[in-house]
Structure 1
Amino acid sequence: MMSEIKKVDYIYVVDSNGTPLMPTSRLGMVRRWLKTGQAKWFGNSRNTIQFVRPVTTNTQELTLGVDAGFHLGLSVVGNNREYYVSESLRKSEKDRITSRRESRRTRRNCLRYRKARFDNRRRKDSWLAPSIQYRLDFTIKEIKRLYMFLPITNLVFEVTPFDNQKLLNPDIQDWQYQKGKMYGFKTIKDYLLARDNYRDALDGKQYPASQLRVHHLVQRKDGGSNQPDNLVLLSDINHNQANHNNGILAKLRENRQKTLDYRGAYFMNILATRLSNYFDNYTITQGYLTANLRQKYEIEKSHLNDAFVIAGGTDTTLRTNNVYSRQKLRNNNRVLQKFYDAKYIDSRDGKKKTGKELSSGRTRRSRELNYTNLRQFRKEKVKKGRVSIRRGHYQLRPHDVVLNTRTNRIETVKGVQNSGTVIKFQTGKTCSIKSVVSLYHVNGILEKKMENI
């Protein structure tokens, strides 16, 4: 079992040319180097220093272990010590891609005349869906980032291609790969009509195909897919805003059988086939080998510990306190206008609710259907709706670290108010922008040091 010994804090070191050196745990020496001008902070980092004077460049072999997936685990081990460990996360790009598409269409619709385009555009052979491409680029960038301040000599990946069809049917035959669920159907809706016999998933009644809509049990913005197992048919009467808000459709999702999530398996397949495009020398290991070693050393299951074992860590390896959680944030918010809904008193229970929650339920103007009209329960308006327009781009962003010169305390920024003249901190307090000094800019990545790991 892993011994309960103290963990070590490290500061990473590069020479004057930017070549990575071995990390140091002599924090007192680091303070003296910075104070006397022999070293400086490296870039925007506060855990890496760069010497400004010549130094020796003796290094040892370090191994980087990569536990690939939606949660990316990274660990650097060498000389029976762990020098770095982190878990990186990039959330789904669905909402951001939708926002970008809406902004693009709005911009193009404002043009008086748009030059005609011809249908002669072709995708490259290496084209990937944007959500997968962004996640692949993020994974590669996070791995290559460590080479900037650590002298890594070995790279070990845990990636295994998956057979998606076999995950669904372990006894699948060779000829069945070409004849899946939708074999013989032109569209997904045709398959669903045949599967559900033209019946609504809520009331069980039969409707004409023109009155049935395809509904995602798990919405696309929440990670749902277009797989038939995640789709049901709902009539125009039941597929309305009220059922989305009151939780009826959420209960329908809970009552249905849970389906397999193929997104992670698909990403692992892509990563396994494209590693050679980014790295020349690397080693592949398997998940069952990592699990056996983790159980042998009695180490708990986590992305951080998996990466530690992949890098060659054992129960005698000295662990580090340099444990980081990294999350990708958007650099720019394209939405310049925000709408804040009005609020009303619901006559049924006397609670405050938004106008969206007490809407008419109508989704089509072309024809009237028997929608559930909730506007009749609006008793009185307690708050007007408003539109807020951002008219400037401000230097300080959420999660930036600043020094409040009035209180001499380090604060984290929550947002900017009053046209950029007032800073709001995450503690809820505010301060003039003239009274703060910027210490650390997030720059698209929110990095936090994890405690009690």
Structure 2
Amino acid sequence: MRVFVLDAKKRSLDPCHPARARQLLKSGRAVTYRYYPFTIILKDRLVENSVTHPHRVKIDPGAKVTGLALVRDDISKVVWAAELEHRGEIIHQRMLERASLRRSRRSRKTRYRKPRFDNRRKPEGWLPPSLESRVANIITWVKRLVRWCPVSAISLELVKFDTQKLQNPEISGVEYQQGTLFGYEIREYLLKKWSRRCAYCGREDVPLEVEHIIPKSRGGTDRVSNLTLACHECNQRKGNMTAAEFGYPHIQAQAEQPLKDAAAVNSTRWAIFEQLKRFNLPVEVGTGGITKYNRVRLGLPKTHWIDAACVGESTPKELFVKCSSVLVIKATGHGRRQRCRTDRYGFPAAHAPRRKKYMGFQTGDLVRAVVPKGKCVGVHVGRIAIRCRPSFKLNGFDVHPKYLKILQRSDGYEYEIHSVSSPGLKAGAPDAI
């Protein structure tokens, strides 16, 4: 991957080869600006005295991982690539836990926050927090790339999943238009589907209850494919288990594959597109079919960052791809707002301090520790977890803050560089530019 370069006024120049960056740093002409992604500042260079070339940011949005690629248009070369891991599922789980905690405290008449009336209108374009975080992560990194590199255009895969086709690929005609529950109430549909008997013990002529094959507390949904019928005894014995854990794997096999990921991509695609237009740059959109066609035509393997490099009709006939490593970016957030930690029964167990910094350090800061003595003697680099006392966690051991030096402040993301097997360098590709 290339190294991002800024001029003396922190304006973007063309990325350079890592070997060239080492020369500039060794000679004193440049200093380190960021470690992830690695960025340097030239002390003796300005944009007015430099030649820059157009680059294109290419995005392949995903529900869990988004591919990012930076392509230099004039030579059709991928100069930087990354995979951005979202935390939408974690946010969703924490909101479920918070709602469950509040419900339990309300039912016990203990101290609680009163429920709000459901009479508020949601603004146009509203997204739940778990989806909003995905959009915010992508826009944040596009902003950073535009700031660190001379970007002249953006390409986005504007994909749409047909969830009904994903469930039943053979559906067509009138059945496709009508949908699964046409002419049925949900309970009547389930009675017909499960032959009016308990799906687990097979009993008939008993009161049947609508039951989730994968419980909602375990990530199950209210989709009709995740519902079945069970007698009261089986429903109580099953409790919080899935059908497979309850001893009926064939019942769980009837539950279709979850469509949460497809729904997340469908819900966020236009929000990403509308926010990308605010950069005042040309925004090209492409379909998933075009991405796959370009990747197959170029003979490249399927990964998130390679899919991003193949997005849109702007993908050239020959794309020079030579990346020995890819930056993996994991969204971690900026900590919790919750001050009172509770036990599993909802009673206060601990109180977190309001301040997030101690002695100038914050959890998530990238630091270098030079420990002169003790069992952890040596030089260590990593991210710290602070405590409100001079004893921080670094790479699994305790270290005093006086031995630490900050390399990069916490910005809500964790970084790893993963080595990849290069998909191959096309004939005639420039080796170092």
Where does residue 352 of structure 1 map in the other structure?
none
Deviation at 1:10, TM superposition (A): 2.2
Aligned AA (1:30): L
Structure 2 unpaired stretches of 5+: 372-376, 422-433
Aligned residue pairs, count: 391
Where does residue 124 of structure 1 map in the other structure?
123
Alignment match of 2:352 (pick from 391, 401, 424)? 391
Structure 2 residue 368 is matched with structure 1 residue 403:
yes
Where does residue 101 of structure 1 map in the other structure?
99
Structure 2 residue 402 is matched with structure 1 residue 431:
no
Please list, as runs of the form range in 1=range in 2, the aligned pairs for 1:255-270 lying within 5 A after superposition. Answer: 255-270=252-267
Deviation at 1:73, TM superposition (A): 0.7
Give the structure-2-normalised TM-score: 0.75
Aligned AA (1:136): V
Where does residue 41 of structure 2 map in the other structure?
50
- How big is each residue's C-alpha offset from its partner over 1:375-404, in whole Å with a ceiling of 9 and x where there is no partner? xxxxxxxxxxx9852433554666543222
Where does residue 368 of structure 1 map in the other structure?
none
C-alpha contact 1:244 1:250 (8 A) present in aligned 2: no
Distance of 1:120 and 1:387 partners within structure 2:
31
Identity of aligned residues (%): 19
Structure 2 residue 324 is matched with structure 1 residue 337:
no
Aligned AA (1:180): T
Distance of 1:250 and 1:420 partners within structure 2:
47
C-alpha contact 2:76 2:318 (8 A) present in aligned 1: no
Change (3 A) 1:100 1:84: farther
Aligned AA (2:70): V
Change (3 A) 1:245 1:225: closer
C-alpha contact 2:3 2:40 (8 A) present in aligned 1: yes
Deviation at 1:216, TM superposition (A): 4.0
Change (3 A) 1:293 1:175: closer
Where does residue 367 of structure 1 map in the other structure?
none
C-alpha contact 1:40 1:52 (8 A) present in aligned 2: no
Query: RMSD of aligned C-alpha atoms?
Result: 3.8
Change (3 A) 1:247 1:287: closer
C-alpha contact 2:78 2:319 (8 A) present in aligned 1: no
Please list, as runs of the form range in 1=range in 2, the aligned pairs for 1:354-433 lying within 5 A after superposition. Answer: 389-392=350-353, 393-395=355-357, 400-406=365-371, 407-413=377-383, 415-416=385-386, 420-426=389-395, 428-433=396-401
Where does residue 233 of structure 2 map in the other structure?
237
- How big is each residue's C-alpha offset from its partner over 1:274-325, in whole Å with a ceiling of 9 and x where there is no partner? 4542233222223333333323332211112212233736766152345111
Aligned AA (2:142): I
Structure 2 residue 327 is matched with structure 1 residue 324:
yes
Distance of 1:445 and 1:262 partners within structure 2:
27
Where does residue 225 of structure 1 map in the other structure?
221
Moved more, 191-200 or 138-147: 191-200
C-alpha contact 1:397 1:413 (8 A) present in aligned 2: no
- How big is each residue's C-alpha offset from its partner over 1:153-172, in whole Å with a ceiling of 9 and x where there is no partner? 12222223233334444443
- How big is each residue's C-alpha offset from its partner over 1:35-81, in whole Å with a ceiling of 9 and x where there is no partner? 46x54515x75611234555134211212222222221111111243
Give the structure-1-normalised TM-score: 0.72
C-alpha contact 2:211 2:235 (8 A) present in aligned 1: no
C-alpha contact 2:215 2:242 (8 A) present in aligned 1: no
Where does residue 214 of structure 1 map in the other structure?
211
